[in-house]
Structure 1
């Protein structure tokens, strides 16, 4: 394993530990895509090493597909992504053996079968039936209250609502200090956008409820922490960063001082995560572009199923050459 230190001062520092650009003995993206497009009847003809590669890549593809919602635009949701990525390769391989041996599945592609099996193993259908709203970053939270850290009074949140037909409402909890924040909710299908305005300084609370016809009401507390504006202004800009690799890569720290645009180019699925939460999820295709909020990100990982290019540059900067 080699260590790489990437410093673009004064604006962005990333320390990378891992293997990103070297050969791994794997097939390239075009060959992998061709392999995953083969019918399920070809599964048993693959060698154990080929099956392992196929499982890693199709699991990532299934997780990326589960991380987006219709109409959400460049917003990515981590819960279902993490549930699928946590699946053990051996568990998924054994399940695929049974899946493609069953009547009616041999005509599916390897990726189609893998996606169906991964969603079943990760219990995605039951997650989709449970009344809840899953927010994209900067909202965080596991099984407890949702968390939101902001530096200004206004922000827009994007969420995915489950199940179909459920609606999102906000309220001020009676057992907490009254928040002066106001909000506007725009929900279309399973995508909801919440515009928060006049968020007070310090810690404040809102309650997020999901309910609808035939849907039991479920709610969570949203804890908002608005800090004072920093005494020193961040840099007005920073030098664009261009990263390339052929396999997955880990960055221990990624500092984004201002709103940035991340553009991913790859023929296979690629994700950029920080502390397990999605920043960017790229489906196989030309490019994916998303905005990354200013923050000091830790435990950053680029998961990829083949060669990829990632360019990070300030919002508003003209896209230069040499990248996506």
Structure 2
């Protein structure tokens, strides 16, 4: 450990999370659980990812995630603060990653609020969704594009200003290595265990993880943000998918598949404006462009997908077009 990293013990993290209390549990992943905590000695709110070492591959996942993030600095990546490798008070191995805390939680929880939450209080307007989509594209198209991300809404976290930060690199890196050593069926099963709905089809056939896999996951994520539908929705069966659902509506019926909350939010603006037809057309143009990008990114063949840098440029252009409308 270099001096730049916080030095924390098991006891520090135990105290910070109130004994890893269920009240502080903010997420559960393939290889462990994440808790909110307060490191009083540093006066810092953190997210503590505690590895389930009984899960095969957990330690390898931790090592991969640490290695991927420790030397990277980017405004749209979750900032890793330190790692703790110790012994708990029962004499068992304890390993955890400590991250900067993201107070607005995950994109998944904003797109699909829990039943006990008031959906209208956790809705994202189109400007916010555009900003988040650009943040994710920026993180994925930066100079470390050879690092495979595990892109899905649960791994896109939002800070105080609703700026998106991509996290959880361990699973994707481990999948890449697993593909080289497992049989086709084993690899497919492992992939489904990770991010069902966001894993590109070539991974399920034993293909090696690549930047085009990230593009596929980004396309599905974008389509979910625009339609409000999960790729695992019961309506997608018998060889149907979120990709096919969006592609079949493009471009004439795009407005029929848009998340209703996006349209409801701007209904009053359309009614009050003298140029409401123009505003509707501009908004439709933006949504059609977003669906086009999502469909292109989630093409079945990797060679048909866009490049991440191209995606980032397209998304900026769409946002510029939308902001000219003057609704938000």
TM-score, normalized by length of structure 1? Answer: 0.22
Structure 1 or 2: more strand by fraction: 1
Structure 1 or 2: more helix by fraction: 2
TM-score, normalized by length of structure 2? Answer: 0.21
